[in-house]
Amino acid sequence: MSLFTVKPYHINYKSLWNNYVATSKNATFLFNRHFMDYHKDRFQDASVMVFKNDRVVALFPANQVDQTIYSHQGLTYGGLILNSKLKLQAVIEIFKLVLEYYQSQGFIDLEIKIMPNIYSDLPSDELLYLTFLLDAKLIKRDTLSVIKLDNRLKYNKDRNDGVKRAEKHNLTIKEDDVFDVFWNDILIPNLLDKHNVSPVHSLEEIKLLKQHFPNNIKQYNVYHGNKVVAGTTIFITKHVAHSQYISANTDKNSLGSLDFLHNHLLNGVFKDKRYFDFGISNEDQGRKINLGLQYWKEGFGARTVVQDFYTIPIANFKMLDNVLS
């Protein structure tokens, strides 16, 4: 008989969930229910909580589509949320119980997007090991461009030249509480024109999330005189500053606006973080790279961290029966 019990998430557990997220070894504010629930109308929640007696010991944020469980399609990364006390043996047992629970509810497959380890407080690769044990299939691998801020590489000539151009044009940078100008005048038109897509978050959604997480979501804009010419929306976690959105007007090369902005962020605002994450430059499910974008990020000294995506037949939980000898 297991010491652990798996229960589906219910709104009555919201405080328990959020308190656990705040004290876990590998969670960020994205797993807080105030963040997860902003788009609850678009995803059918299938999250579960694992208890030992009346105490939460693990969480699994998820949504469902037909007979597939996803960890979670509305989040950048996912997986098991664990605390520092849980050892590998317990994690194996917990994940086996989670899979058994989903099978009992009629689900067939599980798709997981692994959290890059730069976001964790402590080593947290238990889920990667479990994907191996469960014969998971790697279906996608993205490459993040990341700077380790306490061991930085020098900028290349192009990035240095961009900063110098911006200084000659007397550009300035402000942290703005208002997102509207950057989003409406620069970000949304650029994404539509270049990629025929919209931001993952709507302007209204990012404003709502900013209200809930004022210290985790910030907007930095570059001004040429009184005009916003570039900006970035940053998601800030304990160890990582991540550029969720970066964009500039058509003068970005002649003005050096984005080079100037990120030089300011790297050498000033976020210099005490462990990492700066520029995010991906991938296309076609990770199989292609936008070389221009990659070149720009690596010009600041960013190098590659991968994020894996796996699919697991849920019935494979039986493969965990004889792992522990």
pLDDT at 178: 87
pLDDT at 7: 98
**What are the CA-CA distances from residue 118 to residues 55, 123, 213, 223, 238 (Å)?**
28, 9, 21, 32, 10
| Containing structural domain, residue 156 | 150-273
User: Is residue 325 predicted with pLDDT exceeding 90?
Assistant: no
Whether 39 and 88 share a structural domain: yes
Whether 18 and 134 share a structural domain: yes
CATH number, residue 237: 3.40.630.30
d(CA 300, CA 246): 15
Mean pLDDT of 278-293: 94
pLDDT tens digits along 99-131: 999 999 999 999 999 999 999 999 999 999 999
pLDDT tens digits along 22-35: 999 999 999 999 99
pLDDT at 245: 96
pLDDT tens digits along 64-81: 999 999 999 999 999 999
Mean pLDDT of 163-183: 96
d(CA 15, CA 32): 10
Q: What is the mean pLDDT of the chain?
A: 96
With cut-offs at 50, 70 and 90, classify the pLDDT of residue 312. very high
> Would you say residue 145 lies in a domain?
no
pLDDT at 2: 83
147 with 315: CB under 8 angstroms? no
User: Is residue 1 predicted with pLDDT exceeding 80?
Assistant: no
Whether 81 and 136 share a structural domain: yes
> Would you say residue 187 lies in a domain?
yes
**What are the CA-CA distances from residue 256 to residues 23, 177, 183, 248 (Å)?**
41, 23, 20, 10
pLDDT tens digits along 215-259: 999 999 999 999 999 999 999 999 999 999 999 999 999 999 999
> Would you say residue 204 lies in a domain?
yes
Q: What percent of the chain has pLDDT over 90?
A: 93
Whether 174 and 211 share a structural domain: yes
pLDDT at 294: 97
Total domains, the chain: 2
> Would you say residue 81 lies in a domain?
yes
Residues with Cβ within 8 Å of residue 113, at least 6 apart in sequence: 71, 75, 76, 77, 78, 79, 307, 308, 309
pLDDT at 141: 96
> Would you say residue 299 lies in a domain?
no
> Would you say residue 325 lies in a domain?
no
Residue 148 pairs with which residues in a beta bridge? 275
Residue 283 dihedral angles phi and psi, to the nearest 5°: -140, 170
Whether 76 and 98 share a structural domain: yes
User: Is residue 180 predicted with pLDDT exceeding 80?
Assistant: yes
With cut-offs at 50, 70 and 90, classify the pLDDT of residue 196. confident
> Would you say residue 295 lies in a domain?
no
- Range of weakest confidence among 29-43, 94-108, 131-145: 29-43
Whether 106 and 180 share a structural domain: no
Q: What percent of the chain has pLDDT over 70?
A: 100
Provide the residue count of the chain.
Answer: 325
Whether 56 and 165 share a structural domain: no
* Furthest-apart CA atoms within the chain: distance in Å: 71
With cut-offs at 50, 70 and 90, classify the pLDDT of residue 148. very high
pTM: 0.95
